[in-house]
Amino acid sequence: MVEILKAGLYDSIQDLGRLGYQQFGVPISGTMDHYSRQLANAILGNQEDAAVLEFTLKAPRLKFHRTTAICITGMESQAKINEKPIENNTYVIVRKNDILSFGTRKLGCRGYLAVLGGFQSEKIMQSRSFYKSITEQQRLKTGDFINLSQIPIPFKRSNAVLKTPKAHFESVRIKVFKGIEFEMLGPDHQNKIFTTEFTVSTDSNRMAYQLDERFENSLEPIITSPVLPGTVQLTPSGQLMVLMRDCQTTGGYPRILQLSEMAINRLSQRIPGQIVQFELLKV
């Protein structure tokens, strides 16, 4: 097992998400940054959908109760095993009773801890992802224990170190497609949406990223229609809401843009107060 000695700001177990249940109103959930999850699991040789621990802004302090291998990706905040620094994006063996801790955040918003074989939390609707009202827990707390896989550490393993591009954390540009209701905007507003710099709001979370700047809105609400992670809704007040992994499955606000998958990953690494600007993808 792994013991949470001290919880971070928002720690949860996440995987690829609950795919195929949206018709029942079940959010997809899953890791906010799928790229970082995939990278961590690839380095360990795990299945792509193996569950990882996602932490936000402030990382937890953990104790391992058995020997295993780990990999940390995403947010950079100096990780240490028994106070000895380790690098992100590397295969690291931890021994029984080792303590994993983190320092001050340097880059990014969300970090990921993968373990060999994935975390073995309860699986509901083919996913281990935490989500309020579906799983018993919404987030991890101090004193919790998480089961580990019994997979033995392989005798041979890759020593390769993979680097995450700095653009993944620092790029202001967020690539999008036109949304279903994009053409409802007038020509001036269609141009303005791509020339305005927007600020990530402090109200942003796993359900949606809100943007501070108001965007003039004279559009009528739409009939409640399907939405997805990455859908950009224009609310009656003129605020833009970018739906994220825990978003609802339907909405009644115009869907003016749709983020690409990589754009969702990169937006999830932006912190409140940082700037983003939409860039239209050609199709």
How high is the pLDDT of residue 71?
96
- At the second CATH level, the architecture of 171-280 is Beta Barrel (2.40)
How high is the pLDDT of residue 156?
60
**DSSP of 145-164, one letter per residue?**
EE----PPPPSS-----PPP
Side by side, the strands of the sheet bearing 68-76 are 11-14, 52-56, 107-115, 68-76, 92-94
H helix or E strand, kind and range, residue 38: helix 34-44
The CA-based angle 20-26-31, given to 5 degrees, is 80
In DSSP terms, which residues pair with 112 in a beta bridge? 54, 73
pLDDT means per 10 residues, the chain with 283 residues, are 95 96 93 97 94 97 96 95 95 95 94 96 95 92 94 70 84 95 93 95 96 88 92 94 96 95 97 96 82
How high is the pLDDT of residue 153?
84
- For the chain, the structural domain boundaries read 2-165, 171-280
How high is the pLDDT of residue 65?
96
Ramachandran angles phi, psi of 142, nearest 5°: -55, 135
Instruction: Fill in the DSSP letter of residue 132.
Output: B
Average pLDDT, the chain: 93
How high is the pLDDT of residue 158?
59
Q: What sign does the dihedral 130-136-139-143 (CA atoms) show? A: negative
Q: Per residue in 234-268, pLDDT tens?
A: 999 999 999 999 999 999 999 999 999 999 999 99
CA neighbours closer than 13 Å in the CB half-sphere of residue 158: 13
The neighbour count for residue 201, using CB atoms within 10 Å, is 18
Q: Per residue in 205-229, pLDDT tens?
A: 999 999 999 988 888 888 999 999 9
Global pTM exceeds 0.75: yes
